[in-house]
Amino acid sequence: MCSEDRDDMTKRQFRRFRFSTIMFFLSVCVLTPSGGAWSATDAELEKTISEALSVRHPTEGADWWRSLGPNAPRVIIRMYEASDQIYQRLRLLEALAWFDDSTSVEFLKLQAERTADDVLRNAAIRSVGIARGANEEEFVSKFLKHPEPQTRLAAAETLKRMNDSRADKILEKYLNEEKTPWITARLKGEAVVQRRLKITSSSDDRLNPELTGTWAGFWVAPGAGSPGMESRPAVLRLKVSGATAIEGELNLKKGGKAAQPKAFVLAEVSGKSSRIAGVLVETPASDSAQTSAQRDMRKQPREIPFEAELVERAGLKLIEFRAPSIAAILVVRRTGTSQ
């Protein structure tokens, strides 16, 4: 046996040993009641959870998270409080949905009530609904009056998933009172084109030239056939022409359960300063990559209303892009610069 083969065998043996060691510590976490093992167990749990969070397209479901044992919620909560990454925090809030203990649910409620970030707030509301169902309809329903429309939608969708007669009555009353067309349309399964921003001639309303460029990041949207979220690598290209004209395209790469990459052009775009709004129009794949059904639909391309804004977060220039009708968000960072 040559030295390279021996080295490969040694590496494989080491990987198997490392995996066995992690599994041993996880079993200690679940089965050992002695207080002396808890700190090491929490460390191993955190390592396992961190590895799961590092996967770009998550596949962990309820069974996987619950298999981590009764100490997992406190580790998840500690990791959430220590993290400053919104996507990681989002994943951790979604993980707590699979634990219905009082500590997990109370933490989710606290985040729903206190966080200023609507993405995290909405995730917390959904997770409370998954964890406790109709038992928390009173808590969830109070967010139907929240000033942020995305939060009202999250609360309404959570009530709808409860499949409970009392929750249905609350939802029916809410639909009669809600004044935002795209929210009621979403809940009824209809489509409404988002109203465009009004353009004025003021110099303050000129489009920010910094929007021009290539931006890369991740598109996050509800997963196909699962209650969690899926992310896909994305590239956004924008070009500002003159004071108010802008054109662009969005490309979503293959990821998760998505069968093929997707491409969109930005249409009916209007904006002012660092904000734009319009419609994403999906461009068809090449004829060779399309099914006959897809070719038949080419006359009616998919249209998705969107709004976007150039912002600065932690010293970085980012574009935060939202498509409320499909509950999707896109966060991208300029490529090829030190930003």
pLDDT at 221: 85
Q: Is the overall model pTM greater than 0.75, yes or no?
A: no
CA distances 152 to 109, 116, 159, 206, 281, Å, are 15, 15, 11, 32, 26
C-alpha span between 228 and 220 (Å, rounded): 10
pLDDT at 31: 46
C-alpha span between 58 and 162 (Å, rounded): 24
Q: What share of the chain is helix, strand, coil (3-state, %, to 5)?
A: 50, 25, 25
pLDDT at 69 over 70: yes
How does DSSP classify residue 79?
H
Q: Would you place residue 102 in the very low, low, confident or very high pLDDT band (cuts 50, 70, 90)? A: very high
Q: Which residue has the tokens 């949207």?
A: 221
Q: Which residues contact 217 (CB under 8 A, 6 or more apart)?
A: 233, 234, 236, 318, 330, 331, 332, 333
Q: Would you place residue 93 in the very low, low, confident or very high pLDDT band (cuts 50, 70, 90)? A: very high
Q: Would you place residue 34 in the very low, low, confident or very high pLDDT band (cuts 50, 70, 90)? A: very low
More confident residue, 225 or 103: 103
Residue of 108, 105, 104 whose CA lies nearest to 74: 104
pLDDT at 6: 47
Looking from the CA of 298 toward its CB, the CA atoms found within 13 Å total 11
Mean pLDDT over residues 63-67, rounded? 92
pLDDT at 134 over 90: yes
Q: What is the share, in percent, of the chain residues with pLDDT greater than 90?
A: 34
Query: What is the residue type of 193?
Result: V
pLDDT at 339: 41
CA distances 220 to 155, 208, 223, 232, 316, Å, are 19, 25, 9, 7, 20
pLDDT at 193: 52
pLDDT at 111: 96
C-alpha span between 262 and 285 (Å, rounded): 8
pLDDT tens, position by position, 230-281: 888 999 999 887 677 788 899 888 765 555 788 888 888 888 888 888 888 8
Q: Would you place residue 145 in the very low, low, confident or very high pLDDT band (cuts 50, 70, 90)? A: very high
More confident residue, 194 or 308: 308
pLDDT at 337: 45
For 156-218, the DSSP string reads HHHHHHT--HHHHHHHHHHHHH---HHHHHHHHT---PPPPPPP-S-GGGSBPGGG-EEEEEE
Top-tier CATH class for 203-334: mainly beta
C-alpha span between 191 and 149 (Å, rounded): 16
Summary count for the chain: helices (H), strands (E): 12, 8
Radius of gyration of the chain (CA): 23
Mean pLDDT over residues 154-167, rounded? 94
pLDDT at 338 over 50: no
pLDDT at 56 over 50: yes
* Domain ranges (residues) in the chain: 3-188, 203-334
Q: Would you place residue 49 in the very low, low, confident or very high pLDDT band (cuts 50, 70, 90)? A: very high
pLDDT tens, position by position, 197-211: 444 445 556 888 888
How does DSSP classify residue 135?
G
Fold of 3-188: Leucine-rich Repeat Variant (1.25.10)
Specify the range with the lowest mean pLDDT, choosing from 132-136, 199-203, 227-231.
199-203
